[in-house]
Amino acid sequence: MGFYKSLSLVALATVGVSQAVTETRSLDQIHQAALKEGGVVTLWHGGSDPHQQDALKNAFEERFPGMTLNVSVRSSSFIGPDIDRQLAAKSVTVDSIFLQTLQDYPRWKRQGVLLNYKPAGFEQVYDEFKDPDGAWASSTINAWSIIYNKDKLIGIEPPATFSDFLKPEFKNKLIFTSPIDDDAVLNTFDLIINAYGVDFFWSLLEQNPRFAPHHLSIANEIGQPNTTYAATFGTTIGLFSQDPLVVHFPTEGAPFTSWAQGAAILKDAPHPEGAKLLHSYVLSQEYQNQTGSWSIRRDVAAPKGFSSIFSTPNTNPLDFAHWMYDRENVERFRFWVQDKIGYPA
């Protein structure tokens, strides 16, 4: 039986919800169980740079001596099909998945391939950011901002809303992550066009922007003093400015994209205790207080100068998931944009 035929059978299968396991052990107790299991966790994490989750790897391995967190970072859109291939072949080598493709989690839950596990601290996670049966619980909150290099905008009013990017002084100064390969970036363009109309898109293209394939390259290009690129939206360097780069979240006009990253353990994970340790750690107050972003927990305050994500103006972290569920709309919009801008260079 071929891969695609096998995959279609997996997709058609609907399995009853198994009883969730609620974690009652301390992190140290789970740590000991994970060491006896082999001390290894394999995580596939959505992202654009292989080293994007080095901070998580280092924090986890330092906190839990003897543990090894093997992290592979690729686009979530590419990871999902590889997970489906492993599931179809009944050969799962991955323990945990932290992905932006939020539409995959309900499907995988229906197929019965996710471990219904409620990590330590699960009760403090906002209800909107977790599955009630424990099939997944979000790990972090991400958001795209406006970013500009203040040193390159001397005498130019910096952009405060997305509509400001159409001002003539920004011609040849704009660079964006291509929305073709990243649904969250695509969502930003959809939000802007819905707010301002399709004429905004045509006018933006007249600014002669560059579309690049990776988020991290965008900030680097803007930060370099010897490039012409001075501003962008639909990417991130975190919540706080990093001189000369200024981070700004628009409070009016088209809303900005924010979402809670999905996180789940595969039911047939080869290292279930290690995976439970990772998820309980990521959901802990200890870790959530050091992410530098909004928290998925009710009892962890937002970083200084910010309100909770649900009180943040001009964004709704739940809208992205609803948008992602409508795959027909997403794919039609992606092909429309691709036809207009081509592939990133």
pLDDT tens digits, residue range 99-149?
999 999 999 999 999 999 999 999 999 999 999 999 999 999 999 999 999
Q: Is 139 exposed, middle or buried (0-12, 13-18, 19+ CB in 10 A)?
A: buried
In angstroms, the CA 40 to CA 78 distance is 23
Amino acid at residue number 22 = T
Whole-number pLDDT of residue 5: 37
Whole-number pLDDT of residue 15: 52
Does 3-142+260-310 match 145-256+326-341 in CATH topology?
yes
Q: What homologous superfamily does CATH list for 145-256+326-341?
A: Periplasmic binding protein-like II (3.40.190.10)
Whole-number pLDDT of residue 345: 67
CATH topology of domain 3-142+260-310: D-Maltodextrin-Binding Protein; domain 2 (3.40.190)
Whole-number pLDDT of residue 17: 57
CA distances to 21, 166, 191, 200 from 208, in Å: 53, 11, 21, 13
pTM (two decimals): 0.92
In the chain, which ranges are E strands? 21-22, 40-46, 68-74, 96-99, 117-118, 141-143, 145-149, 175-177, 210-212, 231-235, 245-248, 258-260, 262-265
For residues 142 and 258, the answer to whether their CB atoms sit within 8 Å is: yes
Which residue ranges of the chain lie beneath pLDDT 50?
Answer: 1-14
Give the start-to-end residue ranges of the domains of the chain. 3-142+260-310, 145-256+326-341
Whole-number pLDDT of residue 3: 32
Whole-number pLDDT of residue 285: 97
Whole-number pLDDT of residue 65: 98
